[in-house]
């Protein structure tokens, strides 16, 4: 979702009683804690009750898929959001993790009946990650993930 689409989502409100789970990576905590804070703030702003937001932490981005699957399997959430930050380093590790997590989240969406939102930053460096949190130069990707979750919960297809 782009910054432009985030503005279009300004009227999006959560359905009454919406329950959302968030899986967040501890790795790159400077970034992920800001993502979590922003995501929860946006959900609450849009009508999700604080008590209806459950959060679990996992060691790294790779483990997000497993945590999201566990949330999905509980059958008590309307959406699940994965938050993390994969920042390129000196080895190809970045490529494997970013691709695996994105494919894992995609598979969860195809195999299950609730949306799983990809709120994982994949950046070249720490500066780019910082630019994507809390309304930096590239917007607020966690707020966008929150809005996307609510839009997908509200999705109606005739």
Task: Identify the pLDDT of residue 136.
Answer: 63
Global confidence as pTM:
0.91
**Contact 54/22 with Cβ under 8 angstroms?**
yes
- Residue-wise pLDDT tens digits, 40-94: 999 999 999 999 999 999 999 999 999 999 999 999 999 999 999 999 977 778 8
Identify the band that residue 137 occupies on the pLDDT scale cut at 50, 70 and 90: low
Of the candidates 72, 58, 97, 69, the residue with the CA atom closest to the CA atom of residue 20: 72
Question: Which CATH number is 34-151's, of 3.40.640.10, 3.40.50.300, 1.10.150.20, 3.40.50.960?
Answer: 3.40.50.960
Q: Environment class of residue 50 by beta-carbon count within 10 Å: exposed (0-12), middle (13-18) or buried (19+)?
A: exposed
* pLDDT tens-digit map of 4-49: 344 546 689 999 999 999 999 999 999 999 999 999 999 999 999 9
| 104 vs 5: CA distance, rounded Å | 25
Which one is catalytic: 13, 15, 29, 93?
Answer: 93
- Does 93 qualify as catalytic in the annotation? yes
């Amino acid at each position: 979702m782009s910054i432009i689409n985030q503005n279009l989502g300004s009227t999006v409100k959560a359905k009454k009683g919406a329950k959302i789970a968030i899986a967040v990576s501890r790795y790159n905590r400077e970034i992920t804690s800001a993502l979590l804070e922003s995501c929860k703030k946006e959900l609450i702003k849009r009508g999700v009750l604080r008590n209806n937001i459950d959060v679990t932490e996992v060691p790294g981005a790779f483990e997000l898929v497993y945590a999201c699957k566990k949330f999905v399997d509980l059958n008590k959430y309307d959406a699940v959001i994965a938050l993390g930050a994969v920042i390129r380093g000196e080895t190809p590790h970045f490529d494997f993790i970013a691709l695996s997590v994105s494919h894992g989240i995609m598979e969860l969406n195809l195999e299950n009946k609730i949306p799983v939102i990809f709120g994982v930053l994949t950046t070249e460096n720490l500066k780019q990650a910082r630019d994507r949190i809390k309304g930096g130069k590239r917007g607020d990707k966690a707020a966008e993930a929150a809005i996307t979750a609510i839009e997908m919960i509200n999705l109606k297809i005739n």
